Amino acid sequence: MDEPAARRPPGRGARVRAAVLGAALAELAEVGYDALTVEAVARRAGVHKTTVYRRWADRADLVVDALTEHVDLDVAVPAAGPIEDDLRAYARSVVAWLTAPTGRAVLAALLSDAARVPEVAEVKQRFFTARMRRAEPLVARAVARGELPAGTEPGDVVRALVAPIYLRLVITGEPVDDTTADAAARDAIVLARSAR
Residues that bind DNA (CB under 7 A): 9-13, 16, 36-40, 46-51, 53-55, 57-60
Residue 171 near which of its own copies, DNA, none (CB within 5-8 Å, type-dependent): its own copies
Q: Give yes or no for residue 172 binding its own copies (CB under 8 A).
A: yes
Minimum distance of its own copies from residue 99's CB (angstroms):
16
Minimum distance of DNA from residue 10's CB (angstroms):
5
Residue 102 or 112: the one with the smaller Cβ distance to its own copies is 112
The closest alpha carbon to 41, from 58, 56, 26, belongs to: 26
Minimum distance of its own copies from residue 187's CB (angstroms):
6
Going residue by residue from 9 to 38, which x/- string records binding to its own copies, judged by CB under 8 A? ----------------------xxxxx---
Q: How many residues does the chain have?
A: 196
DSSP 3-state of 195: coil
Q: Which of residues 90-119 bind its own copies (CB under 8 A)?
A: 111-114, 116
Residue 91 or 162: the one with the smaller Cβ distance to its own copies is 162
Separation CA 85–CA 131 (nearest Å): 18
Q: How many other C-beta atoms can be found within 10 angstroms of the C-beta atom of residue 50?
A: 9
The closest alpha carbon to 96, from 158, 177, 157, 160, belongs to: 177
Q: How far is CA 97 from CA 73, 155, 177, in A?
A: 12, 20, 11
